[in-house]
Amino acid sequence: MNASKKSGKRRVASRVLLTILCILGAMGVVVGLGMWTSRYPDVINMGTACMGEMQHMDTMPQMSNMSTDCQGASGVAIPIASLHAPETAAHIAEFTLTAQYAHLPFFAKDQGDAWTFNGTSPGPTLRVRQGDLVVVHLRNRLSAGVTIHWHGVAVPNVADGVAGVTQDAVKPGETYTYRFVAKDAGTYWYHSHQESFEQTGHGLYGVLIVDPAKPSVHDDVDVPLALHTWNGTLAVNMTTGRQRIEAKPGQWVRLRLVETDNTPHLVTLAGVPFLVAALDGHDLHEPTPLTKVPLVVDGGQRYDLRFQVPQSGAAALYIASDENGPYQKTPAVVIGSEGAAVAPVPAVGPKEFDFTTYGQPKPDAITAKSHFDVTYTITLNYTFGFSNGRPGPVFTLDGQSFPNTPMLMVKEGQLVRLRFVNEGNAGIHPMHLHGHTFTVVTKNGRALSGSPVRLDTISLRPGESYDVAFYADNPGLWMIHCHNLYHANHGMDMMLAYPNISTPYNIGYASGNFPD
Ligand code: C2O
Ligand code: CU
């Protein structure tokens, strides 16, 4: 009797063990399959030379794999190399940027090196005049391939710096030259677009300023301020503490804020009323003075602030660690004379800056009432699953993650409307379009009531939607992606493409090109 009880127990135990093993095995198969099927293919070609008139492709990578040896059903393919800047111009602004390791002054001894251009992060501020032909020689002294993307600048496609789309990543020891005409004045920035989440985070970025050919205002003091978080510590340019910019009472100051982080910061200026003069490099019409109004600056975005130094005391820029506040004591930027009393850290004001009602309206080529030739709705969301072989969060566009996201086809001359809808209940998504700037026409279905607003990066909070529109005037293969580069690295990318373009470059394991 004892013996049969014992063997009964044993039978139960072995059944439980078998069940557990089966469940683990099944989980292993699911995880393995997810990792395997979500892994990028070895070769992804973004060319559109074989696609003809198709719009809103959803079998994009498979279809377009053919494009390198296909001359196209509707005419001769346009090679990406033909989409380039003129060879020469009246004014040429020439620079060399060397990607190299460097130890930043505020890094701890054991912290390792930053990845920099020319030994600093931000790299050198490139300052050119509107209309200049900009020529930049990239030299790579790092041990990984890099590129340079000119964020916000409508460059010819071949100068866009997207690894696997417009070029191969520049290998260690190699050089590469970018050429583009700086058509629009304003504040822009540059960063690597090979493994951009990792490389921009490690410091491969800098500021590009295009001065207007005919300035409409005069600034006595003009300073770019790049925000970047290093191992949890926020820095403004190369400083994590308080820095001072010398300026005399009555002088006009322009601060060019550049958000190089993935998540937004709340920023304000204390001690003096200020104007938001430009967003993403594009002037706002008749901006009105703001007093300590909180500004939410999201990944990839730029804010130009202008103000006159007060007669007594110094103004100060304060920043919060996220989009909610409170403002921190440091890093801070004080603007004024040495010894002047510095405006103290303010409490976060109740009403944050709203560009949809700011400034004065003026006639604009694109409005909510324009006739749009084509409209694409892009829903933003996230889920849990696998992206490029890794389990974890997956950020989606139209329910798909890269490279399975649909390709948006546009034709030259079309007025294109993109309707971004953030359907997720968490996560802010700063959506960035390459090669074009867009006019914001509505927010949550409502037309803007203030100045026209032209951006290259639009930030959407959960539940928000924006319609943006632009003329398709720059043929090529262009990315649209979230500039929270972690999201981009986990699926939140798609392509906007003109028909009949071929590229010899590929994304994927065979080439080692991974734009995000
Ligand atoms: Cu600033 Cu595609 O990036
Ligand atoms: Cu995002």
Question: How far does residue 187's CA lie from ligand 1's centre (Å)?
Answer: 14
Regarding the beta carbon of 481 and ligand 1, being less than 6 Å apart is answered yes
User: Mean of the pLDDT values across residues 344-358?
Assistant: 97
Regarding the beta carbon of 135 and ligand 1, being less than 6 Å apart is answered no
pLDDT tens, position by position, 428-470: 999 999 999 999 999 999 999 999 999 999 999 999 999 999 9
- 269 burial (CB, 10 Å; 0-12 / 13-18 / 19+) is buried
Max distance between CA atoms of the chain, in angstroms, equals 103
pLDDT at 514 over 60: yes
SS3 29: helix
Contact 25/454 with Cβ under 8 angstroms? no
Return the ligand number nearest the Cα of 435: 1
Regarding the beta carbon of 306 and ligand 1, being less than 6 Å apart is answered no
**Cα(477)–Cα(435) distance, rounded to whole angstroms?**
9
Atom of ligand 1 nearest to the CA of 152: 1
Atom of ligand 1 nearest to the CA of 162: 2
Predicted structure pTM score: 0.93
Question: How far does residue 384's CA lie from ligand 2's centre (Å)?
Answer: 14
User: Mean of the pLDDT values across residues 180-192?
Assistant: 98
Contact 97/116 with Cβ under 8 angstroms? no
Regarding the beta carbon of 479 and ligand 1, being less than 6 Å apart is answered yes
CA-angle at 286, arms to 280 and 291, nearest 5°: 80
Question: How far does residue 108's CA lie from ligand 2's centre (Å)?
Answer: 31
Question: How far does residue 130's CA lie from ligand 2's centre (Å)?
Answer: 32
Q: Of 70 and 147, which is predicted with more confidence? A: 147
The answer to which of 29-43, 208-222, 393-407 has the lowest mean pLDDT is 29-43
Regarding the beta carbon of 151 and ligand 1, being less than 6 Å apart is answered yes
Question: How far does residue 483's CA lie from ligand 2's centre (Å)?
Answer: 6
**Cα(101)–Cα(437) distance, rounded to whole angstroms?**
33
Regarding the beta carbon of 193 and ligand 1, being less than 6 Å apart is answered yes
User: Mean of the pLDDT values across residues 339-343?
Assistant: 97
pLDDT at 68 over 60: no
pLDDT at 59 over 60: no
Atom of ligand 1 nearest to the CA of 515: 2
pLDDT band at 20 (very low <50, low <70, confident <90, very high): confident
Q: Which residues of 191-210 are buried (b: 16+ CB within 10 A; e: fewer)?
A: bbbbbbbbbbbbbbbbbbbb
Regarding the beta carbon of 300 and ligand 1, being less than 6 Å apart is answered yes
Q: Could you tell me which residues are beta bridge partners of residue 324?
A: none
Closest CA to 488 of 62, 51, 191, 177: 191
Regarding the beta carbon of 265 and ligand 1, being less than 6 Å apart is answered no
Supply the pLDDT for residue 21: 82
Question: How far does residue 123's CA lie from ligand 2's centre (Å)?
Answer: 25
Residue nearest to atom 3 of ligand 1 (CA): 151
pLDDT at 26 over 70: yes
Supply the pLDDT for residue 386: 92
Share of the chain above pLDDT 90, in %: 84
**Cα(432)–Cα(427) distance, rounded to whole angstroms?**
15
Return the ligand number nearest the Cα of 188: 1
Query: Which amino acid is present at 175?
Result: T
pLDDT tens, position by position, 257-298: 999 999 999 999 999 999 999 999 999 999 999 999 999 999
Return the ligand number nearest the Cα of 484: 2
- Which residues have C-beta within 8 Å of that of residue 397, sequence separation ≥ 6? 378, 379, 380, 405, 406, 480, 491, 492, 493, 494
pLDDT band at 248 (very low <50, low <70, confident <90, very high): very high
Share of the chain above pLDDT 70, in %: 94
Supply the pLDDT for residue 43: 93
**Cα(344)–Cα(338) distance, rounded to whole angstroms?**
16
Q: Of 33 and 299, which is predicted with more confidence? A: 299
Q: Could you tell me which residues are beta bridge partners of residue 96?
A: 137
pLDDT band at 32 (very low <50, low <70, confident <90, very high): confident
Return the ligand number nearest the Cα of 193: 1
The string of DSSP codes covering 332-364 is: EEEEE-TTPPBPPPPPPPSS---TTS-S-----
Query: Which amino acid is present at 448?
Result: L
Distance of CA 217 to the CA centre of its chain: 28
Residue nearest to atom 1 of ligand 1 (CA): 151
Q: Of 108 and 236, which is predicted with more confidence? A: 236
User: Mean of the pLDDT values across residues 488-506?
Assistant: 97
Can you say whether the dihedral through the CA atoms of 164, 166, 169, 173 is positive or negative? positive
Atom of ligand 1 nearest to the CA of 434: 2
The residue length of the chain stands at 516
pLDDT band at 335 (very low <50, low <70, confident <90, very high): very high
pLDDT band at 307 (very low <50, low <70, confident <90, very high): very high
Question: How far does residue 336's CA lie from ligand 1's centre (Å)?
Answer: 34
Supply the pLDDT for residue 10: 77
Return the ligand number nearest the Cα of 378: 2
pLDDT band at 74 (very low <50, low <70, confident <90, very high): low
**Strand 242-246, strand 374-387: pairing:** unpaired
Regarding the beta carbon of 149 and ligand 1, being less than 6 Å apart is answered yes
CA-angle at 263, arms to 261 and 264, nearest 5°: 100
pLDDT band at 51 (very low <50, low <70, confident <90, very high): low
Regarding the beta carbon of 282 and ligand 1, being less than 6 Å apart is answered no
Regarding the beta carbon of 302 and ligand 1, being less than 6 Å apart is answered no
Sheet strand arrangement including 242-246: 242-246, 327-336, 315-320, 265-270, 295-297
Closest CA to 222 of 207, 200, 242: 207
Supply the pLDDT for residue 230: 96
Question: How far does residue 285's CA lie from ligand 1's centre (Å)?
Answer: 26
Atom of ligand 1 nearest to the CA of 200: 1
Alpha helices in 132-286, H assignment, sequence order: 196-201
Contact 369/280 with Cβ under 8 angstroms? no
pLDDT band at 75 (very low <50, low <70, confident <90, very high): low
Regarding the beta carbon of 487 and ligand 1, being less than 6 Å apart is answered no
Question: How far does residue 483's CA lie from ligand 1's centre (Å)?
Answer: 6
Supply the pLDDT for residue 28: 76
pLDDT band at 64 (very low <50, low <70, confident <90, very high): very low
User: Mean of the pLDDT values across residues 384-391?
Assistant: 92
Regarding the beta carbon of 419 and ligand 1, being less than 6 Å apart is answered no
User: Mean of the pLDDT values across residues 403-427?
Assistant: 96
Question: How far does residue 430's CA lie from ligand 2's centre (Å)?
Answer: 6
Supply the pLDDT for residue 65: 38
Closest CA to 439 of 232, 285, 321: 285
Closest CA to 337 of 253, 463, 258, 211: 253
Question: How far does residue 244's CA lie from ligand 1's centre (Å)?
Answer: 30
Contact 440/356 with Cβ under 8 angstroms? yes
Question: How far does residue 351's CA lie from ligand 2's centre (Å)?
Answer: 24
User: Mean of the pLDDT values across residues 115-137?
Assistant: 98
Atom of ligand 1 nearest to the CA of 191: 1
Can you say whether the dihedral through the CA atoms of 393, 397, 400, 405 is positive or negative? negative
Arithmetic mean of pLDDT over the chain: 93
pLDDT at 91 over 90: yes
